[in-house]
């Protein structure tokens, strides 16, 4: 899984893409005029009016989009290499787990987790909030 942005991203969009890449222990690639390799799974932070507005998952010629607004951005720091698990119950939690291709759990452990409560998606590392997104419809 690799992360990038639209072709001419705002600084806030680039920062969010780098934060997400770090959270997942994945590579971030500055896009510019470079196309996306169809053989890989790409998560592209898309923006609306200069602000991050969604995450497009592009893989095998197909695309899924998760729309959101950024509620909280934590400070950047080096994260562990552990893959996160999605924590929550209900349809939204299942949709988020499917979107990221991760496992779903009812309870968070001590490691890295993506906690889904209602429309909020919280990215946690050892219980510390890294990022909070409010999911749009």
Return the pLDDT at 78: 58
Of residues 120 and 34, more confidently modeled: 120
Distances (CA, A) of 86 to 37, 83, 94, 101: 27, 10, 8, 10
Indicate the burial class of 45 (C-beta count within 10 angstroms; 0-12, 13-18, 19 or more): buried
So what's the pLDDT on residue 80? 58
Residue 7 has pLDDT above 90, yes or no: no
- Read off the pLDDT of residues 18-50 as tens digits, 9 standing for 90 and up: 999 988 888 888 876 667 676 788 899 999 988
Q: Which pLDDT value is given to residue 41?
A: 86
Better-scored residue on pLDDT, 75 or 116: 116
**3-state helix, strand and coil shares in percent for the chain, rounded to the nearest 5:** 20, 45, 40
How do residues 42-96 score in pLDDT, each as one tens digit?
A: 899 999 988 999 999 988 888 899 999 888 776 555 565 678 899 998 899 999 9
Beta bridge partners of residue 2, listed in sequence order? 27, 42
Which residue in 100, 12, 94 sits closest to 55, CA to CA? Answer: 100
State the virtual CA torsion across 64, 87, 76, 44 in degrees, nearest 10: 0
């Amino acid at each position: 899984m690799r992360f990038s942005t639209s072709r001419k991203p705002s600084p806030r969009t680039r920062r969010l893409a780098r934060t997400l890449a770090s959270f997942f222990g994945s590579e971030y690639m500055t896009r510019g005029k470079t196309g996306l390799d169809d053989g890989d799974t790409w998560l592209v932070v898309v923006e609306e009016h200069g602000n991050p507005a969604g995450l497009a998952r592009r893989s095998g010629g197909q695309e899924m989009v998760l729309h959101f607004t950024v509620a909280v951005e934590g400070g950047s720091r080096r994260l562990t290499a552990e893959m996160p698990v999605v924590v929550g119950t209900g349809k939204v939690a299942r949709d988020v787990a499917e979107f990221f291709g991760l496992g779903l759990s009812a309870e968070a452990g001590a490691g890295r987790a993506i906690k889904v409560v209602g429309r909020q998606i919280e990215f946690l590392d050892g219980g510390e909030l890294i990022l909070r997104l409010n999911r749009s419809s």
